[in-house]
Structure 1
Amino acid sequence: MPNQDLKNDRFLRALKRQKVDRTPVWMMRQAGRYLPEYRASRAKAGGFMDLCRNAELCCEVTLQPLARYGLDAAILFSDILTIPDAMGLGLRFVEGEGPVFDRPLQTVADIRNIGIPDPEGELRYVMDAVSTIKSALNNSVPLIGFAGSPWTLATYMIEGQSSREFAKTKKMMFDEPEALDELLAKLSESVAIYLQAQIARGADAVMVFDTWGGALSPAAYQRFSLQPMELIVAKLKKFAPHIPVILFTKNGGQHLSKMADTGCDALGVDWTTDLRDARAKVGHRVALQGNLDPLCLLARPERIREQVARVLESFGPGEGHIFNLGHGILQQTPPEHAAAMIEAVHELSPRYHV
């Protein structure tokens, strides 16, 4: 059941497909570089990972978009690569290039040498951030915890950086699938433990970001992306059955029905899938989250409003929709354009919940 102490439980009610007065809204990457106050906090921290490791500053930036906008949820400020970093791969962020690992996984021996991080040990800084944010929210809105999916984490750990082709990872997938299975098993266990710890520290819902699952064939997706996420969902539901779990595979529209079979509570949907089609595929099994194209927020506010109306109409009447972008908000986004989107959701969505 939704947290009865929350002043605004609209997001949690929608995840459970319960009655709401309007469609709840939050944004992936809602605390980020598009906000001048975030840029100031990051400069104060000295660097991105310095910011992630400072519980007070994590709390500060998590709350910044809530002070600006009428959002229905906060999301922990962190990064999906905290787990691989804690495994000793030497994470650093290079300006203009993004994340880089100094010690990527190259052999089966490398995979066998990594351990499962302790959330209250190597990742204690994330847990302290969850507790600090949860306290500062003072039950105003729910707090979302998150992690990267095992497949997505594996791509960074094997490639050593961001990739478009995933050549090294797919070579392992085809040449040594058992080695990749072994890595994904470790990551599934790590992600499950990590999210359980976030829940124990106060997260009201958790989300698994499968950024690169859409790069796989259907058969490969089933084995190397979906099955590890299914294991995570099972462990989370055993640990805390009342906590909603959201799965999101970018470019994963063809997999939505199978994703709904995992036992999760909601699915993120990107802009390449119509919500009407997504709803037809999953029926009443899960809620749906999405799915405005983030680039829409570069357009004029009146155009943004038109596209918000289109997304709401696409889902249609009834419960179980959380309005969001189809992926993270872009740093070029004018903050007032994000405000236009949120205000349009507030104004236009009540008619779908009468």
Structure 2
Amino acid sequence: MPDPTSSRFLNVLAGTPSTPVPIWMMRQAGRHLPEYLELRAQAKDFLDFCYSPSMAAEATLQPIRRYDMDAAILFADILLILDAIGLDVRFEKGVGPIVETVDSESDLHRAPIEKAVQRLSPVYETVDRVRTGLSEDKALIGFCGAPWTVALYAIEGRGGTDKSTARSWAYTKPDLLKKLLALLVEASAQYLHEQVKAGADALMIFESWAEGLPSDLFQTLVIDPNAALVARLRALGVNVPIIGFPRGAATMLEAYTRQVPVNGVGLDTSIDPQHALQAVPKTMAVQGHLDPLLLIAGGEAMDARVRELLEAYKGRPHIFNLGHGVRPETPIPHVERVVELVRAGV
């Protein structure tokens, strides 16, 4: 585990601004890298890849070698937790994840949480391998999907839907939804606890499907379960910094940052920096929020936006990142250019 004083990333999460600003990118390990594609071809399927400590560790380290990012993020998937609790999860090429849906309370008891956590032991081995392979100034981020986001897949069966079935559960099956969220809070807390025990220096909670919720549902489906997850982690003795990413929070960003006791908050592409400066407490790190499509386009517009974001958060704890993940068609020189600009501080 790195000495916090040697890690810009961890210093910022402790509330201390850094020059230069630390940088990493969501999905920095993945399909835009030729070395990843070569490695991925060796696995039978995506789940096999995630459950192979040697391959997942190598994928995690690839962007550190290529870009010298300040943090590595564990290569895994937010849906591994559903696979572990006994739901059928598969990834179809060109389609994405397909998940066996939850229909009744009996579906919530297929595997005890202790067994589910044990089922994910290859992930902890990956964490251990990566932490061993990282230098002292690099941090390793463990992660999970937030309860609502993971629940959505278990209800809808896939992502990319209008989320109407899952949202309807808040009105038509509130008790079952509450039990599903509680299960995911506990399972995710134990999962993240094991990641920290294996060597993760920080954690991130991905609330990828927060967008479009009415304010009352944002409170009960996003804020309350996220706050419960953080509280449970602290009760388990987890003391590493935590980043929350309520993608699509919009006007509920301030409520999230005031009620979910995270150390940093990820911002999506829709958030205006001036809104973020008002909504996020001054001691809380902001992370984000360059548009991944602008990263693909590159050029002067990209350079200008990088400079704008660096200027906007000057003097605040700031981690440079994207508003969503690196896309497969992203040119490597554009990523290199962003890293260059951030490191130069201009």
Same fold? TM cut 0.5: yes
Instruction: Tell whether the 8 Å contact from 1:144 to 1:204 is kept in structure 2 after alignment.
Output: yes
1:82 Cα offset (Å): 0.5
SS in 2 for 1:89: coil
1:182 matched residue in structure 2: 179
1:319 Cα offset (Å): 3.2
1:241 Cα offset (Å): 5.5
> 1:99 pairs with 72, 97, 100, which one?
97
- Superposition map of 1:1-354 within 5 A: 3-4=2-3, 8-101=6-99, 103-113=100-110, 115-116=112-113, 118=115, 121-240=118-237, 242-260=239-257, 261-315=259-313, 317-348=314-345
Instruction: Tell whether the 8 Å contact from 1:19 to 1:319 is kept in structure 2 after alignment.
Output: yes
SS in 2 for 1:291: strand
Cα deviation code 1:227-258 (max 9, x no counterpart): 11101111222334531010001111322222
Amino acid at match of 2:128: S
Equivalent-residue separation in structure 2 for 1:189 and 1:129 (angstroms): 22
1:225 Cα offset (Å): 1.5
Instruction: Tell whether the 8 Å contact from 1:207 to 1:248 is kept in structure 2 after alignment.
Output: yes
SS in 1 for 2:41: helix
1:332 Cα offset (Å): 0.8
Instruction: Tell whether the 8 Å contact from 1:23 to 1:346 is kept in structure 2 after alignment.
Output: yes
Amino acid at match of 1:144: I
1:120 Cα offset (Å): 5.2
Amino acid at match of 2:340: E
1:226 Cα offset (Å): 1.3
Structure 2: 5+ residue stretches without partners: none
Equivalent-residue separation in structure 2 for 1:275 and 1:193 (angstroms): 34
Q: Percent identity?
A: 37
Amino acid at match of 1:39: L
Structure 1: 5+ residue stretches without partners: 350-354
Q: TM-score, normalised by structure 2?
A: 0.95
Instruction: Tell whether the 8 Å contact from 2:196 to 2:238 is kept in structure 1 after alignment.
Output: no
Equivalent-residue separation in structure 2 for 1:5 and 1:171 (angstroms): 44
Give the aligned length.
345
Equivalent-residue separation in structure 1 for 2:17 and 2:4 (angstroms): 17
1:5 Cα offset (Å): 6.9
1:196 Cα offset (Å): 0.8
1:162 Cα offset (Å): 1.6
Equivalent-residue separation in structure 1 for 2:193 and 2:36 (angstroms): 28
Moved more, 128-137 or 16-25: 16-25
Cα deviation code 1:191-211 (max 9, x no counterpart): 111111111111000000000
Q: TM-score, normalised by structure 1?
A: 0.93
Moved more, 305-314 or 77-86: 305-314
Equivalent-residue separation in structure 1 for 2:137 and 2:287 (angstroms): 21
Equivalent-residue separation in structure 2 for 1:84 and 1:19 (angstroms): 37
